[in-house]
Structure 1
Amino acid sequence: MSELLNQRLRRRLAALQDEGLARELPRIGRRDGVRYELDGKWVTGFCSNDYLGFANHPRLRPSNFASLEENSAGATASRLVAGDLPAHRAAERSLAALVGSDDAVLFPSGFQLNVGVLPALIEPDDAVFSDALNHASLIDGLRLARSRPTILPHRSPPGESDGPTWWVTESIFSMDGDTAEPAQLREFSERGGMLYLDEAHSLGLFPGGAGFARHHAIRPTVLMGGLGKAFGLAGAFAAGSHEVCTWIRTRARSFVFSTGNAPALAEQARLAAELLAGPDGEERRARMWSNARLLAAALERPPPVSPIFPVLIGANQLAVTVSRALLERGWHVQAIRPPTVPAGSARLRLTVTADHEEAQVHGLVSALRTLMQQFGLSLADSLPPIHPH
């Protein structure tokens, strides 16, 4: 029977190849900031989510946490069994303080968080509204919940609704790099709506290490904070009231039935929250936003609202071809294709960080402009459709 499965998968993999949807892992070796070896060749990357360069921060290196008080490589069990350690509790206090919430719950990943927390909190009779371009983890979490969501046009708010009403959305959207409208989020929350805000790509990018919500005086019912972007680490946390977080610890299946985060990672998260809120974080944010403005100007685009710059190509295989041509010239920018983005909107997703240099930004755009012209494409027409508020 296993050979039947292998035959089936070979056919399906061949079909993906024909459709320009085959995927493979970039074989990255040694890394030095935004420069790293890929298949043995040194390249400059413009596709990571390490917006502030914290993945290479000297104080966050794993070797610094080898002598933790816990003296354990792992949590050993679910935190509800025997895996709740001082490092977890300290990290949760720091993360809650960073986003201005009463409490926070640490998870091994953002995907694991969203597919556990949404089903735990949403009741069958709740009205649920979800942005059309929400991340796959939010979509899958809502599929596991007991209320069928209404899909909103991108960046549109829910209308008036009787009874408990949820609005599930990202603050900075991971593939388009645009944002939700702050006034709409604030108004929804203030009229009693339950706002579930995914801040994976916005946490840490605003003054004081704040995310989009705190920067714009928005109080979500639940805030999902990612640790794999500006924090430069891995994992995520849900933040909210003491009641919300207690319920999550009690009923979110992906928390209840998972081993706790490694204590070293929890301590890294605590320290990263401290660094994000301090002078080092401010200096790195200033560099990141300066580089984002530089890249926006080089691409002849409006002032940026995020460090994410999609370059729309359209056809899957053409996006792969342009990506490979850039790689041959020393620039690593991944082609993003369905199902990550809607059909017909394959793109290059450029991201800029605090660690990029001005010459690197100009070098990338020069190579990209030449290749776009070579393939009959235009940078002027490469921005995804702009969605009104």
Structure 2
Amino acid sequence: MSELLNQRLRRHLAALHAEGLARELPQIGQRDGVRYQLDGAWVTGFCSNDYLGLANHPRLRPSNFATLASGDAAGATASRLVAGDLPAHRAAEQALAALAGSDDAVLFPSGFQLNVGVLPALIEPDDTVFSDALNHASLIDGLRLARARPTILPHRTAPPPIATPRWWVTESIFSMDGDTAEPARLREFSERGGMLYLDEAHSLGLFPGGAGFARHHGIRTSVLMGGLGKAFGLAGAFAAGSREVCTWIRTRARSFVFSTGNPPALAEQARLAATLLTGPDGDERRARLWNNARLLAAALERTPPVSPIFPVLIGANQLAVTISHALRERGWHVQAIRPPTVPVGTARLRLTVTADHDEAQIHGLVADLRTLLQRHGLSLADTQPLTDPR
């Protein structure tokens, strides 16, 4: 029976390869900031989500967290509700709640795990739910596990003014398009009594004082999802909200209840990263990030940026892969993003810029990209996003 499964999967894998949808893990070796070895050759990466460069911060290195107040344990040893709730978890949650401007916060091992657990825990059968058409897969799967059927909104539009209870589930900065939800519409929805579930995985820490999109724009959320794998440079996520919301999440979110707690060292790293984000170091890194984002936007002949994410629309799957490979041969690592991550017919190169890039790297990448596009009959104008990111 195992060979039957292998034969089936070989057919499926061959079909994906023929459609330009085959995937493989990039073999990353030695790393030095945005420079690293890929399959043995040194490249400059433009596809990381480490927007502020904190993944390489000397104070966040794992060796600094070998001994914690909770002892030398590598892991939490159990679910937080059993015997895995440690001082490092509680300290991190307090710091993350302060960063989000909320009463409380709950740590999760990953953002995907958070969304597929929290949404079903909070949404009830009679609730009306609206979800943006380009929401992340974790939000889509979380809503599938919930007991209410969502209405899918056209991208960046707001729910109609209907009676509550109602939810609006959306990202703040959209991970594949680099555009944002419309702040005024989010504020209006919340002020009218709507329950706003805002995924801030790609926006938390990018605004003055380490704030996310919601705090920066004065938006009140019912639940805020904060990612630790982007601006924090770590891994994991947290849900922030009222005491009642967070108590209910700890009690009923299955992906929290039935999972071992985060490693205590990672929790302590998250606490320290939150302090770095709100201090002078964070301010300096944000200034460099947004300066680099403006440089890249200008080089790509685009409007001023609203995020560090720049999609270069190619369309055909195999062509996106071909240009990605050609860039790698020239020393640039830019991944081709294809369905089902993005809609069919919108395969793209997803460029991300960080605080650690320099001007020469930005202009060098765009010069090579322009040459390769021309080789395939395309220009920078042909690869612009489908909608204005603002």
The normalised TM-score by structure 2 is: 0.99
Note closer, same or farther for the CA distance 1:179–1:95 as it changes in structure 2 (3 Å cut): same
1:242-268 deviation per Cα after TM superposition (whole angstroms, max 9, x unaligned): 000000000000000000000000000
CA offsets per residue over residues 35-94 of structure 1, 9 Å max, x none? 000000000000000000000000000000011122210000000000000000000000
- Which residues in structure 2 correspond to 1:306-317 (within 5 Å)? 306-317=307-318
Distance 2:136 2:112 in 1: 9
Is 1:21 matched with 2:8? Answer: no
**AA paired with 2:44?**
T
SS at match of 1:169: strand
Deviation of the 1:387 alpha carbon:
5.9
Secondary structure of 1:223 counterpart: strand
Quote how far apart the aligned CAs of 1:381 are.
1.8
Q: Please tell me the residue identity of whatever aligns with 1:23.
A: R
Equivalent residue of 2:374, what SS?
helix
Could you say which residue in structure 1 is the equivalent of 2:33?
33
Contact 2:204 2:231 in 1 (8 A): yes
Letter in 2 for 1:108: P
List aligned pairs for 1:135-174, cutoff 5 A: 135-174=136-175
CA distance in 2, matches of 1:33, 1:318: 29
Conserved in 2, the CA contact under 8 Å of 1:154 and 1:387?
A: no
> Which SS does the other structure have where 1:361 is aligned?
helix
Code of the residue aligned with 2:193 in structure 1: it is G
1:384 deviation in Å?
A: 2.2
- 1:188 equivalenced with 2:189 (yes/no): yes
Partner residue, 1:58: 58
Give CA deviations for 1:128-181 in whole Å, capped at 9, x if unaligned.
Answer: 000000000000000000000000000000002223100000000000000000
Aligned amino acid, residue 50 of structure 2:
D
Structure 2 counterparts to residues 1-389 of structure 1, below 5 A: 1-70=1-70, 71-386=72-387
Structure 1 residue 388: Cα displacement: 8.7
Specify the code of the residue in structure 2 equivalent to 1:55. Answer: A
Whether the 8 Å contact between 2:107 and 2:238 is mirrored in structure 1 is: yes
Unpaired segments of 5 or more residues in structure 2?
none
Letter in 2 for 1:89: R
Q: What is the one-letter code of the residue matched to 1:81? A: V
Q: Secondary structure at the match of 1:214?
A: helix
- Residue 343 of structure 1 aligns to a residue whose secondary structure is coil
Mapped to 1, the partners of 2:185 and 2:102 lie a distance apart of 20
Q: Tell me, in whole angstroms, the C-alpha distance in 2 between the residues paired with 1:179 and 1:378.
A: 25
Contact 1:74 1:261 in 2 (8 A): yes
Question: Are the equivalent residues in 2 in contact too, given 1:127–1:161 (CA < 8 A)?
Answer: no
- Aligned 8 A contact 1:167 1:195 in 2: yes
RMSD: 0.8
Distance 1:213 1:247, change over 3 A: same
Please say if residues 206 and 231 of structure 2, whose CA atoms lie closer than 8 Å, have aligned partners that are also in contact.
yes
Name the TM-score, length of structure 1 as normaliser.
Answer: 0.99
Q: Distance in 2 between matches of 1:346 and 1:117?
A: 30
> 1:155 touches 1:387 (CA, 8 Å); kept in 2?
no
Cα distance in structure 2, aligned partners of 1:147 and 1:162 = 16
Q: Distance in 2 between matches of 1:292 and 1:79?
A: 40
CA contact (8 A) 2:51 2:230 kept: yes
Deviation at 1:378, TM superposition (A): 1.4
8 A Cα contact 2:180 2:389, kept in partner: no
Q: Cα 1:319–1:378, aligned 2, differ >3 Å: closer, same or farther? A: same
Query: Residues 107 and 239 of structure 2 are in contact (CA less than 8 Å); yes or no, is this contact kept in structure 1?
Result: yes
Give the letter aligned to residue 67 of structure 1: T
User: Which deviations, in whole Å up to 9, do the C-alpha atoms of 1:284-314 show, x marking residues without a partner?
Assistant: 0000000000000000100000000000000
| Kept in 1: contact 2:335–2:349 (CA 8 A) | yes
Partner Cα separation in structure 1 for residue 247 and residue 214 of structure 2: 22
Contact 1:48–1:351 (CA<8 Å) still a contact in 2? yes
Q: Distance in 2 between matches of 1:384 and 1:337?
A: 15
Residue type matched to 1:21 in 2? Answer: L
Deviations, residues 213-253 of structure 1 (Å, cap 9, x unaligned): 00000011000000000000000000000000000000000
Aligned sequence identity (%): 86
